[in-house]
Structure 1
Amino acid sequence: MVDEYLTMVVGNSIVLVPEVEGAAAYDDLINSILLAQLVANKKIEKKPEEIWYDAYMEVLDAYWLRPQKANQTWGFRHNAEELVPNAFTAMLTHGALGNAHRIAAVLARIAKLPDEEPALQLLRRHMQTSVEPARAKVSAAATSVRLLVIDAKSPTSITSACVEFKTRKVLSPNPFQQSYQSGDLHGLVHVHHACETLVEQLYGPVRAAIAIKVRDRLAGNVATLTLPKEVKSCRIP
């Protein structure tokens, strides 16, 4: 089933689009989520106390309606010794409004990619923007890690899952191969799920303007992931 989808990187997001339609059919989706990320990134640079996801959705909500949404917040015991298995899969699929098995399958296959995969490195840089993996394994202060997974049912209908947490641990070149102890996560883990529908009456009048705003940012933020063959086991933790 995963092979029927193109897997794209857009900033800190993994975007799954049906291969039969091709990426070009999803220009509105790519452009709007990239614009929302750029605005959110700029906003939290100026006001670090702001919540990144709220700033991101404030942009999208102008054109995408959210008939369903859910938020989860939880913490881990810092004295626990157990590793958190498949951390991103566990966080993103718990309570997901979309296809949790497809998310798990995609993340399992991304975990098999070599570290030097260019699209993977692009994603990693946007997931943890302030720390370079080659410099240290632990950063001086806890930094935010953010990951969005967007599953497109059609050019105008998507489900999304977003996870954000703070850690002093530096993401490895392939973050999906990385193990975490409970003590590696500082504070709470925030997860957001949504079903979203693009409203043409709202987006149509600004389509051209948004395309112009992001066109010079596409090369540095958008890439296609070439996934390895199907992973046999993609059990949801």
Structure 2
Amino acid sequence: MPHDDGHFGENVAAAYDESAADMFRPDVVDPAVDMLAGLAGDGRALEFGVGTGRIALPLAARGVPVHGIDLSRAMVARLRAKPGGEAVGTTIGDFATTRVDGAFAVVCLVFNTINNLTTQDAQVACFRNAADHLRPGGCFVVEAGVPDLRRLPPGQNAVPFHISPTRWAFDTYDTATQAMSSHYVTIVDGRAEYRSIPFRYVWPSELDLMARLAGLRLRDRWESWTRAPFTGDSGRHVSVWEKPAA
């Protein structure tokens, strides 16, 4: 039976780095790697949703032992084919439930990937899985957007986030269930190609409660990896929850 790569199969993996090129810029990657390397110290790092290695590869290049979990074999194949890919251990599986051996100083989940878990139960399980992998004093780090519901007037459920001559992208929201989807229309050789990915948006305060259920406590929350202050106007957050020392 073919393995289910979810919404990140070969057709997506082949163009992923190009489509997300802005997220691979050094000014985006380096602050994240700096923070994660600092939290890891002399310990190991585990990345949930490791993908093509945008964060794992430069983190491993800093000398941090890194392991990654991802559901998509196609994405992980791209990671392994890159220079330094052999230094990152990988496990294929759902990061909400998949276990790997050993204890880690830091577990991370970046670039809105918590939203790929489309139920609250799965997101709660993810926090428990992170806590189970952490050594005492270790940290779980999540980077996620703050739901952009203030841009929704009454009767509207769609918010565009990219418009160009060859690509249109927008999010749709169901505020009753916190379900959302990202929709992409791309013009290729004069023909339109459409793709949609389901998500579940989640508030920072809701994540804090999930962390408490997993035995973690909030240590820090910033607007970005550069440690800019998080405010009511912040469109995203980088949150760090700590597992109490034994």
**Which structure dedicates a bigger proportion of its chain to helix?**
1
TM (normalized to structure 1)? Answer: 0.26
Larger radius of gyration: 2
Tell which has more relative contact order, 1 or 2 (C-alpha 8 A, sep 6+): 1
